[in-house]
């Protein structure tokens, strides 16, 4: 792996018609970090994740992933780069017409990397990684609880053994217990697999438990990028509202900080 940042966004400008979403946004994420990306609703967090993986292209600036531009290299090299990240988007986490097992096998099959028997073993292994049983492979997504859907979607994101995992509001809609369990799971996967993680979240509990650094998206750019302590020391109005409202203060108190 190259020594530079895993994700490097420089001077990004994003426009949808008259809506200027990012304007001169710069962010560099190093290997092994868990970066929490926070910002108001509609501030452009999901769009930024889409830029990182090349689903959309900014109007200006540069995106580099694993030290390479998104359009660098041959088709084979670009496909190889796609295998190095896994994504858990907020919507459309699983294909509803496929079983859990078929969902997890999907990225493996698409790349033709395994026989049917190997696929079954790999699916069972990925399910075990997210603390699900092999029997869950035959269930349909509609038969799973919200927390299980997130786990299964995470198993699919991990199918190709990515170095980088992008999670868009992974605990949104989960109750506090399931949300805490999901946080523990991400932490242990990060530890075991040495992943770099970028996590969009509104949940101060999740962020305080996981993030090595917090990137704050406001005013169309990253206004603060640092540890929780460094972030709390900023007197930006969004930061004050986000962390020091009642919910934020309670969450920080639960994590034992003196903030
Ligand atoms: N494909 C699109 N076409 C037009 N506008 C879009 C599109 N995607 C996002 N937007 C707009 O860009 C802004 C940022 O959206 P998004 O990245 O989804 O925000 P967040 O994830 O922070 O809530 C919003 O104003 C949204 O309406
Ligand atoms: Mg979003």
With 70 as the cut, is the pLDDT of residue 257 above it?
no
Q: Are 7 and 164 in contact (CB under 8 A)?
A: yes
**Residue with CA at minimum distance from ligand 1 atom 26:** 42
Distance 42 CA to ligand 1 centre (A): 6
Mutate which of 13, 42, 57, 92 for ligand 1? The one with the most ligand atoms within 8 Å of its CB, which is: 42
Pick from 23-37, 167-181, 183-197 the range whose average pLDDT is largest: 23-37
What is the chain's length?
259
Q: What mean pLDDT do residues 23-49 have?
A: 97
Tell me which of 2 and 46 has the higher pLDDT. Answer: 46
pLDDT for the residue 252: 87
- 155 pLDDT band, cuts 50/70/90, is very high
Q: Which residues surround ligand 2, an ion (CB under 5 A)?
A: 45-46
pLDDT for the residue 245: 81
Count the alpha carbons within 13 Å of 196 in the hemisphere toward its beta carbon. 16
pLDDT digits (tens, 9 = 90+) for 58-112: 999 999 999 999 889 999 898 888 889 999 988 657 899 999 999 999 888 877 7
Q: How far apart are CA 57 and CA 165, in angstroms?
A: 20
Q: How far apart are CA 240 and CA 210, in angstroms?
A: 20
Q: How far apart are CA 121 and CA 116, in angstroms?
A: 9
Beta-carbon contacts of 140 under 8 Å, excluding residues fewer than 6 positions away, are 96, 99, 100
pLDDT digits (tens, 9 = 90+) for 101-151: 999 998 888 777 678 888 999 999 999 999 999 999 999 999 998 889 989
Nearest 5°: phi and psi at 96?
A: -70, -20
Distance 19 CA to ligand 1 centre (A): 9
Task: State what percent of residues in the chain have pLDDT above 70.
Answer: 97
**Residue with CA at minimum distance from ligand 1 atom 27:** 42
pLDDT for the residue 169: 92
Q: How far apart are CA 259 and CA 254, in angstroms?
A: 11
Distance 160 CA to ligand 2 centre (A): 24
Q: What mean pLDDT do residues 144-171 have?
A: 92
pLDDT for the residue 107: 85
pLDDT for the residue 259: 59
Distance 192 CA to ligand 1 centre (A): 34
Rounded to two decimals, the pTM is 0.92
Neighbours of 191 (CB within 10 A): 9
Q: What mean pLDDT do residues 46-60 have?
A: 95
Element (H, E) at 35: strand 34-39
Q: Can you tell me which atom of ligand 1 is nearest the CA of 168? A: 21
Q: Which CATH superfamily is domain 7-84+162-254 in?
A: P-loop containing nucleotide triphosphate hydrolases (3.40.50.300)
pLDDT for the residue 220: 98
């Amino acid at each position: 792996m190259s020594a530079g940042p895993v994700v490097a966004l420089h001077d990004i400008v994003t426009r949808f018609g008259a809506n200027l979403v990012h304007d001169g946004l710069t962010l560099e994420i190093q290997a092994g970090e868990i970066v929490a990306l926070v910002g108001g609703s509609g501030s452009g967090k999901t769009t930024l994740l889409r830029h990182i993986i090349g689903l959309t292209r900014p109007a200006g600036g540069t995106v580099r992933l694993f030290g390479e531009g998104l359009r660098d290299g041959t088709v084979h090299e670009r496909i190889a780069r796609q295998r190095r990240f896994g994504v858990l988007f907020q919507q459309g986490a699983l294909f509803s017409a496929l079983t859990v097992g078929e969902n997890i096998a999907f990225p493996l099959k698409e790349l033709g990397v395994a026989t049917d028997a190997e696929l079954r073993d790999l699916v069972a292994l990925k399910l075990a990684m997210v603390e699900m049983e092999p029997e869950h492979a035959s269930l349909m997504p509609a038969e799973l609880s919200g927390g299980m859907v997130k786990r299964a979607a995470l198993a699919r994101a991990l199918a190709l053994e990515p170095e980088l995992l992008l999670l868009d509001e992974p605990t949104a809609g989960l109750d506090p217990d399931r949300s805490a369990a999901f946080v523990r799971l991400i932490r242990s996967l990060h530890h075991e697999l040495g992943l770099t993680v970028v996590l969009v979240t509104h949940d101060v509990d999740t962020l305080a438990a996981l993030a090595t650094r917090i990137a704050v998206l406001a005013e169309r750019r990253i206004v603060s990028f640092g540890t929780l302590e460094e972030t709390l020391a900023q007197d930006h109005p969004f930061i004050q509202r986000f962390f020091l409202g009642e919910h934020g203060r309670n969450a920080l108190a639960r994590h034992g900080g003196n903030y």
